[in-house]
Amino acid sequence: MSKRIVRVASGQGFWGDWQEAPKLQVRTGPIDYLMLDYLAEITMSILQKQRERDPTAGYARDFVPLIAGLSPELLGRGIRVVSNAGGVNPDGCRRALFEALEEIPISRPLRVAVVSGDDLMDRLDSLLGDGHELRNMETGEPLSAVRDRVQSANAYIGAAPIIEALRMEADVVITGRSTDTALTYAPLMHEHGWAADDWDRIAAGVVAGHINECGAQATGGNTLFDWRGVDLEAPGYPIIEMAADGTFTVTKHESLGGRVTWATVTEQLVYEMGDPIEYITPDCIADVSTIQLRDLGENQVAISGVQGRERTGLLKVSIAYRDGWKATGSLVYAAPDALDKAIRADEVLRARLERLGLRFDEIRTEFVGAGACSGRSPDHLPEAVRRGLPEVELRVGVRSSDRAAVDRFTRELAPLILAGPPSVTGFAAGRPRVQEIMAYWPALIDRDAVERNLEVEVSHA
Amino acid sequence: MKIRLERIAIARSGDKGDAANVGVIALIEDAWPILVREVTEERVGEHFKDVCKGRVERFELPNLGALNFLLHESLGGGGTVSLMLDAQGKTFASSLLELEIDAPEEVVSLCDRVLSGELPGR
């Protein structure tokens, strides 16, 4: 078996991540692939809303100037890019990229692939008509219950179309709702020629993808181990160095900041983990409990032993639907007795909402500075701590199917400044904004119903 | 001896829909059986009783010296529905590290040396 190592570097862990990271990955040392993950569960519905307002929008806009600017170096160094930046409009993303490339001198045209077919929105009624009920995985309810409020529906798709795009010699692969981990393991399957039923090696790729998909969270960001000691000014994001046999090393560019140790990698491994022996992806079921992890020192962590099982016949579908309105606002109360003042203000506010006869599905009050993060009520605070709090932020949120009720709530906070308990400030941001709630509806669908519609198309600038 | 969990473990948390996930990782191999014994579903449920409205599930990852907890119905509906400040449960990890547990002195003092950088840890 080949001793060749393939390096897949992580450049973005979410839409809004550090823009310098992908540039540093490309410029600081050798890599073969740059993966950029932009999508979270709620991102698709935000992008769908943007596309409704503007048919050319609906993708991660940051991607376009980033890749256009990097393209001379990508071509010069032979680095290929795999990203789900396409959101609900991969084709629009490519068009914008080609437009931006007109200004950039490059040695040859950039070949850009678009993967489409994950977006089920236009096919939803025919799918429901064919008996795909798309029941909510948590509640068991069929999608028909909320069909008229559905905002977006996308299947999490696997490696096959990305591999096809790479075979067609794409320099940049733009997908919609590709599974986050596939952005890492698809190029590995392609480069090492792993078969689609080589479950253990694909599972190793899935674990590599899980380490890559949250950017610096695997290289010292968010670490609780010696967090004071980690240089996070210019952290190196993770790089996977994968051998053909499915063993790999997690590392980073040595000259950059951050840190790769047993601690930083294990912390990322357990992040957003469910049942570790059932890590389900479109291309295999990985068993995370089988991992052997060894810290080799010098920012190198070796991973081996990963086992996988046959993939399921289903794909997960991420559906967003409109589910009412919400707003959240806050005021700050100062010592002495900051918490007691905030509690009194909350009582007054709730009594006024009650007098107005407004209907809410939920009113939630949190006292920031008095334990809101710990998930524990301020009743747990020792009396001395409670009395010593220099200030407390009263944070109140409401949720309702009645937009007018939520709107009225946003007008009831400011009056507390004059007609409420003393020592209050912190209203500079103004009245809270009313937001439409896009609720998440996870469902499963037969793989075939999605995969027969997947398309890959390569064109060049 | 009575200690806070942070003396022998690190942790990270995130969201899975309306469930929070908290992974707890032993600093040294000898700390792993103590995690298994002390950090039970019951104790974690008790620690988060103000926010966790559902059941607590625990999974073991002995190879990584880690426990993974799922705290169901803990994020106020999760995602965009939630009105919580920490709707993704990001801070649950450091909160759980404040849990008081019982651990042998020799394990704690070894872990102290790992945390100070004197020993390499796992």
Q: Read off the pTM.
A: 0.96
Identify the closest residue of chain A to B56 by CA–CA distance.
A274
Q: Which residues of B touch A263 (CB under 8 A)?
A: 10, 25, 121-122
CB-CB contact of A270 with B25 (8 Å): yes
Which of A268, A273, A397 is closest, CB to CB, to B83?
A397
Which of B10, B21, B97 is closest, CB to CB, to A263?
B10
CB-CB contact of A331 with A413 (8 Å): yes
Distance CA A39, CA A50 (A): 15
Touching check for B25 and chain A: CB below 8 Å? yes
Chain B segment 26-65 residues within 8 A of A by beta carbon are 48, 50-52, 59-65
What single DSSP character describes residue B73? S
Which of B11, B52, B60 is closest, CB to CB, to A224?
B11
- Specify the 3-state DSSP secondary structure of A418: coil
DSSP A312-333: PSEEEEEEEEEEEEEEEEEEEE
Q: Indicate yes or no: CB of B63 within 8 angstroms of CB of A289.
A: yes
Distance CA B75, CA A406 (A): 21
Q: Indicate yes or no: CB of A376 within 8 angstroms of CB of B50.
A: yes
Touching check for B106 and chain A: CB below 8 Å? no
Cα of A97 to nearest chain B Cα, Å? 30
Q: Indicate yes or no: CB of B122 within 8 angstroms of CB of A266.
A: yes
Cα of A262 to nearest chain B Cα, Å? 7
Q: Which residues of B touch A378 (CB under 8 A)?
A: none
Residue type, A86: G
Residues near A198 by beta carbon (within 8 Å), at least 6 away in sequence: none
Residue in A232, A269, A272, A224 with CA at minimum distance from that of residue A252 = A232
Distance CA A220, CA A81 (A): 24
Touching check for B107 and chain A: CB below 8 Å? no
Residue type, A327: A
The neighbouring-strand residues paired with A292 are A304
Identify the closest residue of chain A to B83 by CA–CA distance.
A397
What single DSSP character describes residue B29? G
Backbone angles phi, psi at A85, to 5 degrees: -60, -20
Which of B66, B94, B95 is closest, CB to CB, to A270?
B66
Touching check for B69 and chain A: CB below 8 Å? no
Instruction: Please report, in tens digits, the pLDDT of each residue of chain A (461 residues total).
Output: 567 999 999 999 999 999 999 999 999 999 999 999 999 877 888 898 899 899 999 999 999 999 999 999 999 999 999 999 999 999 999 999 999 999 999 999 999 999 999 999 999 999 999 999 999 998 999 999 999 999 999 999 999 999 999 999 999 999 999 999 999 999 999 999 999 999 999 999 999 999 999 999 999 999 999 999 999 999 999 999 999 999 999 999 999 999 999 999 999 999 999 999 999 999 999 999 999 999 999 999 999 999 999 999 999 999 999 999 999 999 999 999 999 999 999 999 999 999 999 999 999 999 999 999 877 788 888 999 999 999 999 999 999 999 999 999 999 999 999 999 999 998 877 899 999 999 999 999 999 999 999 999 999 87
* A vs B: CB pairs below 8 A: 147
Q: Indicate yes or no: CB of B61 within 8 angstroms of CB of A222.
A: no
CA angle in degrees (0–180, nearest 5) for A290-A293-A298? 165
- Specify the 3-state DSSP secondary structure of A209: helix
The neighbouring-strand residues paired with A201 are none
